[in-house]
Structure 1
Amino acid sequence: MKRRLAGSAVAGMVAASLLLTACSSDGEGDEGAAAPIEGADGAGEATSEPEPEETAEDPTPEDDDIDRPEIRLPEDLNLIFDKPEVEEADEAAVLVDAEWQVKSIYEVISYHDVEGSSVSFYTQGQALLENMEMLDRILERGITTSGEIRYYDYEVNILPGEAAVLTYCRDFTGSVTHDFSTREVVQEADPDALPTRYVARLEKGDQGVWQTVEEELERESSQCL
């Protein structure tokens, strides 16, 4: 059964960003460039050249004492996060929370379960509003995704005032779009799809979680090739 987000659900979840397009390369939800994110110029200057490393499944920060919601993803969806090794604790925490933010979005796409989602735990501000609108469109269309999606080329820039700018790329050449109810393939994987580059602003919330509050994206980005 298709489930559409009620207006109260959108308003009540105070925050989000377009952390992905509508499951694959159809680009739904990508229209409209966001205003430049403060601190984005020079993002990543505080870090060394990243060395990609595939992380363990379902990583969590060690000893941060944060009560995080459980996130479930289906076996036919493989999200790969090639994050760099970093020495600074804040940089490491930004990378982990940004990964969980992506997973929280795909949990809704995978199960069409809005009430049980943890999107607002990792996303706030304008980013949450945009993400919930994007998810609303996906649920209304009755689609979901499977296959492999890889996130890579991360750079972190910690800003004053417990804020950070994070840039990264997304390769979705291995993702497949399905009808949620029938599992019929709506769009096959496109091996020629060009990657998307994201610039996100994160702020440290009261619980110590780095929450995505703004995000802009560049589709078919030459900076990700």
Structure 2
Amino acid sequence: MNHPARLAAAVLTATMAVLTTACGSEGGDSPSDPIKGAGSGDGKTSASPSASTSQGGVKRPEITLSKDFQADFENWTNSDPKLQAILNDGREQLRAKYAAVINADPNSEAVAFYSSEATRVSARKWINQFVEDDNDIMGKVTAFDAKALISDTGSGVLFYCVDERGASTQNRKTGKVVKTPDKPESVLQYRTRLDKTPQGVWKTTSVTVVAGGCSR
């Protein structure tokens, strides 16, 4: 079965099975801790096609997207290094899932690197939807309006929006292209929580995706 592209939402229950209308969650509750710091992007950057970094002495996996798929990250910078680290690892967690779909690899090491056990399981289910339907992703998504916070418990909180209206799925065998509907529901809001590992990696521990949660 061919689904219209809903590149972000993890579909976990039968009531969420239609990607064009569903909201998804990846483990845990939506972030709601009181915050002691807040920031949004103050510049404009685009993620490189391949991002292999060694921040804080930690070697991060190289993530490469195909030439047919582009993920732009607008206003994804912050003057606070702690909040920038949350932005960086939150961005790479999303890019890792896109790359896993492109590579038809539900067991992606990069997804595991940036995800907790709970979000890794649900991300694998989401990736498998594309693998089982033999679908690739193409076109462009734009992530914008990122806001990084640090809660009183020390967890990171990252809210951002993803506009999927420029993206499509393409069946690898038939070549059939299904474009993401040009509707408000195709602009998603991500509400994510991240926890810092002893090695200094901000792993995503919960994700809630709200269809139509942002406007653009």
TM class by shorter chain equals: 0.7 to 0.9
The correspondence of residues 12-91 of structure 1 with structure 2, limited to 5 A, is 20-21=8-9, 27=19, 30=22, 36-39=29-32, 46-47=38-39, 50-57=41-48, 58-59=50-51, 63-91=55-83
Q: CA 1:28 to 1:40, structure 2 compared with 1: closer, same or farther past 3 Å?
A: farther
RMSD across aligned C-alpha pairs, in angstroms? 2.9
Tell me the equivalent position of 2:178. 187
SS in 2 for 1:54: coil
Identity of aligned residues (%): 21
Q: Please give the alpha-carbon distance, in whole angstroms, between the structure 1 residues aligned to 2:126 and 2:156.
A: 24
TM-score, normalization by structure 1: 0.77
Deviations 1:166-223 (A, max 9, x none): 10001011101101234x12302433353111100000113211110101121112x4
Structure 2 portions without partners, runs of 5+: 1-5, 11-17
Which amino acid in 1 is paired with 2:183?
A: D
Letter of the structure 2 residue corresponding to residue 188 of structure 1: K
TM-score for both structures, normalised by structure 2 = 0.79
Say if 2:53 and 2:61, in contact at 8 Å, map to a contact too: no
Q: Does structure 2 retain, via aligned residues, the 8 Å contact 1:127–1:212?
A: yes
1:140 aligns with 2:128: no
SS of the counterpart of 1:173?
Answer: strand
Offset, 1:32: 5.8
Which ranges of structure 1 fall in alignment gaps of 5 or more residues? 1-17
- State yes or no: 1:120 paired with 2:112: yes
What's the offset of the Cα at 1:60? 6.0
